[in-house]
Structure 1
Amino acid sequence: MDSQRLFSTLPPTIEWRDGDLLLLDQTRLPHEIVVENVADVQSVWRAIRELRVRGAPAIGVAAAYGLCIAMRDSTALPIAEFRAALERQAVWLESARPTAVNLSWGLRRMLDRARATDAHDAAMLYQALVEEARRIHEEDVALCEGIGMHGMALIREGSGVLTHCNAGALATTGTGTATAPIYAAHRAGRAFKVYADETRPLLQGARLTAFELQQAGVDVTLIMDSAAASIMSQGLVDLVIVGTDRVAANGDFANKIGTLGVAIAAHHYGIPFYVACPSSTLDLHTAGGARIEIEERAAEEVTHLAGRRVAPDAIQARNPAFDVTPHALVTGFITERGIVKPPFEHALRSLFAAEGNAA
């Protein structure tokens, strides 16, 4: 089941239509539903950087199509010039956000396809790029379905499930990563409750996760980030499922800021803590979490709320977009090929050694 069938009121997160790239502007949700026709590669870069398209899998798909947009008007170039320009545009697009590995993964897939294509002219090479971007898009939908199929058994009748940020359908082009087991269990008719952290400072849990789960008819309750441990202490949470933007070879992973605190609380209360991880988000080139680059965003996202200043003038602020959770706090990774249990370094490498992000 793809995300379009989940939500009758929402357009697709990403759509490629007759050579145009259409993106659902997630900064406007839940109050406005706005689809942007992204006209040039600069607009694709800004859409990724400004979180109008966000979530590691969706970023990978958007970047692949973005490279097509970058080269769309260059098909009359000599093929050597087209290839050189393609490489430059990929390097520039990759600079939009450093932490989500799907961005570099998607662009590398596109470049690998271009290098392997024995095209006679730039127009033929451009068509090969479009085909590869569509393939990446289709694979993302399938990855979500696989995660949902393998993870739904973790959600039992009457369970309480907590999630952080948005690793949902809006973060992918399918049914999400962390939400895929939720949607699968919901479709199976199980009664359970989801607790969605608000996820400061940009409230992706409140604006996006709570919104999309509510739209799909899932029993969801929005809570403050600071209430997660308290909710756990009351015995209301049986399972935590979060997404990830990058998983290192040893199982350390980066996810939206605040995930580390959720993992520590879950460990304290003996609650299983799972990470929904498509193979496209694995980075087996990076040994551990200490080597993951963490994106630092503008201080205004912390000092302001809905455009209004909520902090003192001239106050110093830190705004890391992600934190790294050590693998010792992870019960397992829910992947499209099954649930991976410790020791993670051996298990992840043996299961996914042939994937594009493997060392």
Structure 2
Amino acid sequence: MKDQTMYIPTFRDVLDAHERIRPYIHRTPVLTSTYLNGLTGAELFFKCESFQKAGAFKARGASNAVFGLTEEQAAKGVATHSSGNHGLSLSYAAGRRGIPCTVVMPRTAPQAKKDAVKGYGGRVVECEPSTSSREAVFAEVVAETGAEFVHPYNDPRVIAGQGTCSRELNEQVEGLDAVIAPIGGGGMISGTCLTLSNVAPNIKIYAAEPKQADDAARSFKAGHIIADDAPETVADGLKVPLKELTWHFVRNHVTDILTAEEDEIVDAMKTIWKRMKIVMEPSSAVPLATILRNPNVFKGKRVGVIITGGNVDLDKLPWMKG
């Protein structure tokens, strides 16, 4: 099998992915808020991947990987390690193709995401909440099953699938000056870079990251990957480090990586819930938090904001006490 991480996807791969996954995804809506425009001084266009199949943008990349497998590869199923959304999205896609899926998840991952993996027919194997433990347990799973590894983000099939989101956004909103999305491992940002550098190279691409898990921002400034093993942040989907393939896109196409504090992330999440009535997870609130923290960067601009997912544990919202 060729090493998937060695292949840098092209825009042709994004176009092929969009055709392949169209039956299995939603073309998600773009919503606006007069209140948030007034608050930020920018025109914000929210691409709501919280309304996507499986509740997150990762259904795009997962579906592209699963439905791109040969019959021989598919027969052994797929496996991944994930804090949640990629795992449940891969389970969703595998279920649609009728093949097995195993997901290695940190024991601290939200119960809602573990339940969703199982609900789509996937198997959960728990590990400790660190990158090193996750990779060690995953190696055991692959040895046991022989399943096809679909990396959460350092995989050209996944990046090409994620690139379909900004392709839709660019078709839905004319004249964007910038697009901002959360960054953890960098799959969504890489797909955004891949698409926009081809169809709208004038659009600036910003990544948003929690200050308490700011390895991508530090990597961006240092010019090489800096990886944290087990950062702590309310934005549970953004705890993983960049890898070689996503770093390629970040270093070549991202304008800047902006950060926000934990209380700013929670406040932004609460504001969107209250004002736009959109159920979103903390990771999805990081872009608005960074816009509010850096108003001069976005003032007077037309900005696409990617809301990446809505798989939140409703019994443990971050503003609840106790």
TM-score scaled by length of structure 2: 0.36
Greater share of helix residues, 1 or 2?
2
TM-score scaled by length of structure 1: 0.33
Larger Rg belongs to: 1
- Which fold has the larger relative contact order, with Cα–Cα distance below 8 Å and residues 6 or more apart in sequence? 2
